[in-house]
Amino acid sequence: MFKQIKDLAGGEFYLIASLLIFMVFFILVGIYLIKMSKAQVAEMSNLPFNEPQTTDGYEEV
């Protein structure tokens, strides 16, 4: 596997950059989720059920 990566002739930058972007994104999302309060998680989990229901498909303002 490493032999194939070494024979890319200049493509290493794109591989490393994409891997770093991938890792940074998921690390930041993980940190965000860990720091999120439990009350906010509970509120967001009930969002679809807390919206008012109407008969014609539109909300009244």
| pLDDT tens, residue by residue, 31-54 | 999 999 999 888 888 887 766 666
This prediction has a pTM of 0.54
Q: Which of 17, 14, 15, 20 is nearest to 2 (CA)?
A: 15
How far apart are the C-alpha atoms of 31 and 26, rounded to whole Å?
9
Percent of the chain with pLDDT over 70: 62
Give per-residue pLDDT as tens, 16-32.
Answer: 889 999 999 999 999 99
Q: How far apart are CA 31 and CA 57, in angstroms?
A: 38
3-class secondary structure per residue, 1-61: CHHHHHCCCCCHHHHHHHHHHHHHHHHHHHHHHHHCCHHHHHHHHCHHHHCCCCCCCCCCC
